[in-house]
C-alpha cells in the first residue's frame, strides 16, 4: 500500500478558481508520481487563522501519515519564524516531511 500524502495551500482570496484548481491537480499529480496515495488538500484562507493547519496536523496523527505537499513553503507562512514553527510542529507532532514544489526538493525540518 502506498503511503498517504496530504496537501496544504494558503489562499489569499483573489486567486482565480481555475488557478487554484490547476495547482490542486499539480499537487495531486506530483504526489502520485512520487509514489504516494494523495488523500486531500487542506485550504487555509489568509485571515490569520491556522485552523486548517491544525486540522492537517491532527489528521496526519490519526492516519499515521507523514508526508505533506505544498506549492511552496510560503504556503505555510511568508514569515520565516512562523514557517519554522510550523515545520517544527509537523516534524515533532506528526513526524512529517514537507515536499515544496517550488523548491523542487524535500524540505525536512530537523533540530
What are 57's three cell numbers?
496536523
Say which CATH topology domain 4-107 has.
Answer: Rossmann fold (3.40.50)
pLDDT at 13 over 80: yes
Domain residue extents for the chain: 4-107
56: Cα within 13 Å, side-chain hemisphere: 31
pLDDT at 106 over 90: no
pTM here is 0.89
The lowest-confidence range among 7-16, 51-60, 95-104 is: 95-104
Render pLDDT for 15-72 as a digit per residue (tens, 0 to 9).
899 999 999 999 999 999 999 999 999 999 877 789 999 999 999 999 999 999 999 9
Separation of alpha carbons 17 and 9, rounded Å = 13
> What's residue 107's pLDDT?
52
Separation of alpha carbons 43 and 7, rounded Å = 8
Amino acid at each position: 500500500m502506498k503511503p498517504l500524502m496530504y496537501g496544504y495551500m494558503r489562499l489569499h482570496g483573489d486567486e482565480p478558481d481555475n488557478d487554484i484548481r490547476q495547482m490542486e491537480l499539480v499537487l495531486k499529480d506530483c504526489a502520485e508520481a512520487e509514489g504516494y496515495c494523495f488523500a486531500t488538500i487542506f485550504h487555509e484562507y489568509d485571515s490569520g487563522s491556522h485552523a486548517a493547519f491544525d486540522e492537517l496536523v491532527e489528521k496526519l496523527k490519526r492516519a499515521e501519515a507523514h508526508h505533506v505537499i505544498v506549492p511552496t513553503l510560503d504556503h505555510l507562512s511568508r514569515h520565516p519564524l512562523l514557517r519554522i514553527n510550523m515545520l517544527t510542529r509537523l516534524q515533532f507532532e506528526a513526524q512529517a516531511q514537507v515536499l515544496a514544489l517550488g523548491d523542487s526538493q524535500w524540505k525536512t525540518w530537523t533540530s
